[in-house]
């Protein structure tokens, strides 16, 4: 590592092969999950070899922190004694707002359900989110009960015939949530032991008289969800979209007094997203794309340099000197990041010198990370397909660094 940094500072090509001393490690792994596991073992070895090394001396950077965040949570910081790595304290920085604000996560799920099939699993997963649970006062046992009822009542996808009309199946109300709710509600006062149909519904036998309160809350949830999805179909003006989105959150979510910041933050982000929309009519896809950009992860000072092992995204000026610097996820076709090309951006059709180039910036970020590593530099990438085992090349900037090494 010292030889590479000296050559970079002197702006000279490598003159002689340096003797490997373990300060630079490059690991080719079978997929992102294996990268995180290898990272954990490497860090444990460094901590064991150097008692003075602390978690705050380690910085882990990756091109897409959202991809690796759940993998890092699973491998580190469990607080149990099953593996030494579970005792390491890890702080994830630069997370998207959907990951840090559960109310915004509910909003994102609603936007996806609005023009989707609204399958039973998606609807029940929405019901299990914390803001929705708080609104309808559901416990763990009650949610499990709802899953059993949904399965037995035959709900598979779509709230009702109106939502199925998008797929040309509005004449088939079978296996919708409305049909399932008819069976569940009739099951409170009747049973199916005699196979006695009431109009077009067969009462569900598994519903007891003591379940009246739960069935009522479930019916109210399905009805409010249907109203919200109907309004989200669009198109609307920005002001109308703001009203519709806030109404959907008010109908379906609630927070404890200590978490009231979640609702306030969600409303603030919605107002900021449509503030300059004017009178332009926006479709659902437009609103979803607009909110996905505003709710994406952004580099901030939060959760950075907190005294714990930090995992963050790769952004300029983030390569603060650390004793150990780790770059994870340097996969081919992922790094350098390409970025989406906006068809309405006229300047991107004829770029000139001095304009932003994400690929060049990422190459510079790799160089900055190398120079900020004080004692150890660890690089990880997917070198083989996790299913077939086919060898995959490293990212182009990493390949150039390997040539230097």
* DSSP state letter for 315: -
Whole-angstrom distance, CA of residue 120 vs CA of residue 79 = 34
Phi, psi dihedrals of residue 13, rounded to the nearest 5°: -75, 155
In 10 A of CB 281, how many CB atoms?
13
Rounded to whole angstroms, the Cα distance separating 268 from 284 reads 20
More confident call, 230 vs 280: 230
User: What does pTM read for this prediction?
Assistant: 0.70
Q: Which residues pair with 377 in a beta bridge?
A: 24, 325
pLDDT exceeds 60 at position 256:
yes
d(CA 257, CA 263): 10
- Residue 57 is predicted with a pLDDT of 87
Residue 260 to residues 134, 215, 272, 348: CA-CA distances in angstroms? 12, 28, 19, 42
Express each pLDDT in 355-393 by its tens digit.
777 778 888 888 888 898 889 999 999 999 888 989 998
Q: What is the pLDDT of residue 333?
A: 80
For residue 98, pLDDT beyond 80 = no
134-156 burial, b if ≥16 CB within 10 A, otherwise e?
Answer: ebbebeeebeebbeebbebbebb
pLDDT, mean of residues 81-89 = 69
Residue 225 has pLDDT above 90, yes or no: yes
Q: Is 247:230 a contact under the CB 8 Å cutoff?
A: no
Q: pLDDT tens-digit profile of 21-38?
A: 889 999 999 999 999 999
Output the CATH code of domain 100-294.
1.10.486.10
Tell me the pLDDT of the chain averaged across its residues.
Answer: 82
What pLDDT is attached to residue 221?
93
Residue 318 has a pLDDT of: 60
Question: What was the pLDDT predicted at 361?
Answer: 81
Least confidently predicted of 5-9, 272-276, 300-304: 300-304
In this prediction, residues 133-147 reach a mean pLDDT of 90
Beta-carbon neighbour count of residue 284 at 10 Å? 16
Convert the pLDDT of each residue in 298-346 to its tens digit: 555 554 555 678 888 877 656 678 899 999 988 888 888 776 666 677 7
Other CB atoms within a 10 A radius of the CB of residue 384 amount to 15
pLDDT of 29: 92
Is 133 in contact with 309 (CB distance < 8 Å)? no
**Residue 206 binned pLDDT confidence (cut-offs 50, 70, 90):** confident
Residue 211 burial by CB count (10 A; 0-12/13-18/19+): exposed, middle or buried?
middle
| DSSP calls for 99-156 | HH-HHHHHHHHHHHHHTS--BHHHHHHHHTSHHHHHHHT--HHHHHHHHHHHHHHT--
CATH number for the region 2-95+300-337+356-404 comes to: 3.40.50.300
Query: Residue 184: its pLDDT value, please?
Result: 83
Contacts of range 361-366, beta carbons closer than 8 Å, 24 or more positions apart: 361/316, 361/336, 362/63, 362/314, 362/335, 362/336, 362/337, 362/397, 363/336, 363/397, 364/316, 365/314, 365/315, 365/316, 365/318, 365/319, 366/327, 366/330, 366/397, 366/398, 366/401
Residue count of the chain, please give it. Answer: 405
Tell whether the model's pLDDT for residue 244 goes beyond 80. yes
* Separation of alpha carbons 167 and 227, rounded Å: 19
Q: What is the pLDDT of residues 283-299, one digit of tens each?
A: 888 888 888 776 665 55
Domain range summary for the chain, segments of one domain joined by +: 2-95+300-337+356-404, 100-294
In which residue are the tokens 């797929």 written? Answer: 167
pLDDT value for 199: 65
SS3 of residue 382 by DSSP: strand
Does residue 200 carry a pLDDT above 70? no
Q: What is the mean pLDDT of the segment spanning 70-80?
A: 76
Q: What is the pLDDT of residue 35?
A: 93
Q: What is the pLDDT of residues 105-128, one digit of tens each?
A: 888 889 888 888 889 999 999 999
């Amino acid at each position: 590592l010292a030889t590479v940094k000296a050559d970079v500072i002197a702006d000279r090509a490598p003159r002689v092969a340096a003797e490997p001393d373990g300060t630079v490690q490059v690991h080719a792994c079978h997929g992102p999950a294996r990268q995180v596991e290898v990272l954990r073992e490497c860090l444990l070895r460094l901590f064991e070899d150097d008692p003075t090394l602390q978690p705050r001396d380690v910085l882990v950077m990756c091109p897409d922190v959202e991809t690796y965040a759940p993998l890092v949570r699973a491998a580190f910081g469990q607080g149990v004694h099953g593996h030494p790595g579970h005792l390491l304290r890890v702080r994830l920085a630069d997370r998207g707002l959907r990951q840090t604000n559960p109310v915004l996560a509910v909003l994102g799920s609603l936007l996806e359900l609005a023009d989707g099939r609204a399958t039973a699993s998606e609807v029940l997963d929405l019901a299990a989110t914390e803001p929705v649970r708080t609104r309808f006062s559901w416990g763990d046992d009650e949610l499990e009960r709802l899953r059993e009822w949904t399965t037995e009542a035959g709900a598979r996808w779509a709230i009702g015939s109106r939502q199925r009309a998008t797929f040309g199946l509005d004449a088939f109300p079978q296996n919708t949530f409305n049909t399932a709710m008819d069976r569940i509600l009739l099951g409170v006062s009747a049973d199916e032991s005699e196979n006695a149909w009431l109009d077009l519904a067969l009462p569900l036998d598994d519903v007891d008289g003591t379940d009246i309160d739960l069935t009522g809350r479930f019916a109210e949830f399905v009805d409010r969800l249907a109203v919200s999805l109907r309004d989200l179909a669009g198109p609307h003006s920005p002001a109308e979209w703001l009203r519709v989105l806030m109404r959907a959150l008010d109908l379906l979510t609630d927070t404890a007094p200590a978490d009231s910041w979640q609702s306030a933050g969600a409303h603030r982000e919605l107002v900021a997203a449509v503030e300059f929309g004017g009178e332009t009519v926006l479709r659902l896809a437009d609103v979803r794309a607009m909110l996905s950009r505003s709710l994406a992860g952004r580099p901030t000072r939060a959760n950075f340099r907190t005294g714990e092992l930090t995992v963050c995204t790769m952004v300029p000026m983030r390569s603060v000197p650390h004793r150990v610097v780790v770059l994870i996820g340097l996969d081919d076709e992922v790094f350098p990041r390409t970025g989406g090309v906006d068809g309405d951006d006229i300047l991107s059709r004829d770029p000139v010198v001095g304009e932003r180039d994400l690929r060049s910036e990422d190459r510079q970020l790799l160089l900055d990370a190398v120079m900020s590593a004080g004692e150890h530099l660890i690089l990880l990438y997917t070198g083989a397909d996790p299913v077939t085992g086919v060898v995959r090349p490293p990212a182009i900037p990493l390949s150039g660094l390997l040539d230097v090494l």
